[in-house]
Structure 1
Amino acid sequence: MTASARPPRPTLLGQNQYGKAETRVVRVVRDGDTHHIRDLNVSVALSGAMDEVHLSGSNANVLTTDTTKNTVYAFAQKYGVTAPEAFAARLARHFVSSQDAIGRARIRVEEYAWDRIEGTDGAPVTGHSFVRGGRETRTAEVVHDGSSWQVLAGLKDLVVLNSTDSEFWGFAKDPYTTLKETTDRILATEVHARWRFADGLPVEGEGAPEWDAVYAEVRGHLLAAFAGTYSLSLQQTLFAMGSRVIEQVPGIDEVRLSLPNKHHFLVDLEPFGLKNDNEVYFAADRPYGLIEGTVLREGATAAIPTD
């Protein structure tokens, strides 16, 4: 049915827009051994001469939402990412100027900050190890039955990332395996850790730990182990993190770690005539691999719940 043949309707089409929401793009700039990261969440909304797609189903004026997603990735590679305002302006200008039917483009960008992981001297541990800006949540659980104590301390939502020094290959394969082996990948996780203090350790008064200082010390060891481990698997990194805490903090007998693998996949830019030399990634939030494990001091018995 043509537009002119449509029967009259007692309704009118009001304001409308469409686009691709929350395109996650991570841009890595490699300046020798020092890397720089811009981590964005980009939402595109387009409007203009879009009556017919609503009224008759004609897609003639519709630039697909998949195309807007691809444009975000391609522009991240072609032009780089500086300030989010500048990146959004470039995208908006492109969509409005490249399509006659598009009269308005709204680009919303969220940027997630990454700070370099620093050693105890305040200097960066590496040029490629980062911790998400903002603080994690500190946790504590104390169990007392009138005579004995169990103290669990911990943290959650500590987001960390290595932009290199991570490989994943040599894994088992079956007919359903599609994951490609890699010798250079982004390794990122959101650390959830709990550590149990030794039985009999005084909780209050003389001999009790300086809790704030111990928390800062354990956090520092977790970060240092993550940054300093050349990783062949997230499991290997988990063991290195727990082991460093056990080896460096005498009062802790057990460390329980839960590390979701925050996957970063290389975007295929070949359809747009662009190379992607480990520079532009899609940051997937789900589904994700979940790596969990406990590291114990020799002779200790596991007591931290696994759920």
Structure 2
Amino acid sequence: MILGQNQYGKAETRVVRVTRDGSVHHIRDLSVSVALSGDMTEVHLSGSNAAVLTTDTTKNTVFAFAKEHGVDSPEEFGIHLARHFVTSQETLHTARIRLAEYGWDRIATPGPEQHSFVRRGQGTRTAQVSYDGTAWQVLSGVEDLVVLNTTGSEFRGYLTDRYTTLPETTDRVLATEVRARWRHHDGTAPAGGWDRSHAQVCDHLLQAFAGTYSRSLQQTLYAMGSRVLEHCAGIDEIRLSLPNKHHFLVDLAPFGLKNDHEVYFAADRPYGLIEATVLREGATPAIPTD
């Protein structure tokens, strides 16, 4: 038996790098996969790990380099990583770094504070129309609308018990993937048409997310729904489903680095899920909760 080509590494390390230029923030959001190869015969044949740099170390290196070198571009960041792995360990001969960048656009807001973003692509538009021969029900909606605030959010003062480990925070990244459905009164077309109405609702959702100092995601949800109803007279209710896309500060202390709200691990599971319906006074709920 002959050992053929082989490699190992850490796949899809999610790293979010925030650069704070005063009240204006910049964000780079990457998924980084590292594959290493070299003098790895013995680990396969005898189980000796003497030539192996652990995959956990490669993950930590991604986070540490995001702090030390920043992320000017995926290409430049990948060059820094590949060079490091190959030149720092004699047993590693080749490093392949694959990077995917998730683009974010600013949510335009008045004033100097610029720390709110929407995932490039603006989500997926949805609609549901029901008709029983007499009455119409028209639900408009949006899904996969990913938004993020790099600051302006806290979470503290909550119930605790012996199973609680989450520390309180007065400054956190708040990110969610908005799923919203809203019901038009009597199924009638809004003034200006369906397209204009949909664009307006989405803009109000974004403006409320960006403009609300958040003490909880529930508070942000209610502010988003309330703003839509306040500005869109033809909508009777809106149902929002907001998963909390957790961003955890990476502990860089083991590497002698300070993480001043700059480098985050973006976790996809498990996640908190916040859901609620905001109704115009006097309206009867009609949007399904599923």
- TM-score bin, normalised by smaller chain: over 0.9
Whether 1:259 aligns to 2:242 is yes
- State the 1:135 CA deviation: 2.9
**In structure 1, how many angstroms separate the alpha carbons of the residues matched to 2:43 and 2:205?**
54
**In structure 2, how many angstroms separate the alpha carbons of the residues matched to 1:80 and 1:192?**
32
Percent identity reads 72
Counterpart in the other structure of 1:160: 147
1:32-111 pair list within 5 angstroms: 32-111=22-101
Query: Which runs of 4 or more aligned residues in structure 1 lie more than 3 Å from their structure 2 counterparts after TM superposition?
Result: 123-126
Count matched residues. Answer: 290
Counterpart in the other structure of 1:8: none
**In structure 2, how many angstroms separate the alpha carbons of the residues matched to 1:228 and 1:202?**
30
Out of 201, 216, 239, the residue aligned to residue 233 of structure 1 is 216
Counterpart in the other structure of 2:286: 303
Normalising by structure 2, we get a TM-score of 0.98
| C-alpha RMSD over aligned residues | 1.2
**In structure 2, how many angstroms separate the alpha carbons of the residues matched to 1:88 and 1:209?**
48
Counterpart in the other structure of 1:214: 197
Q: Retained in 2: the 8 A contact 1:117–1:124?
A: no
Q: Retained in 2: the 8 A contact 1:141–1:151?
A: yes
Q: Retained in 1: the 8 A contact 2:143–2:179?
A: yes
User: What amino acid maps onto 1:280 in structure 2?
Assistant: V
Structure 2 alignment gaps of length 5 or more:
none
Out of 293, 296, 299, the residue aligned to residue 276 of structure 2 is 293
Whether 1:223 aligns to 2:209 is no
Q: 1:56 to 1:75 in 2, by over 3 A?
A: same
**In structure 1, how many angstroms separate the alpha carbons of the residues matched to 2:57 and 2:20?**
27
Q: Retained in 1: the 8 A contact 2:24–2:112?
A: no
Structure 1 alignment gaps of length 5 or more:
1-10
Cα deviation, 1:180-223, whole Å, max 9, x if unaligned, reads 10000000000000000112x534xxx76610000010001000
Whether 1:270 aligns to 2:257 is no
Counterpart in the other structure of 1:29: 19
Counterpart in the other structure of 1:280: 263
**In structure 1, how many angstroms separate the alpha carbons of the residues matched to 2:84 and 2:14?**
19
Whether 1:192 aligns to 2:179 is yes
**In structure 2, how many angstroms separate the alpha carbons of the residues matched to 1:271 and 1:126?**
33
**In structure 2, how many angstroms separate the alpha carbons of the residues matched to 1:133 and 1:249?**
25
Cα deviation, 1:156-185, whole Å, max 9, x if unaligned, reads 000000000000001111111110100000
Cα deviation, 1:90-146, whole Å, max 9, x if unaligned, reads 100000000000000000010111100025xxx788410000011310000110011
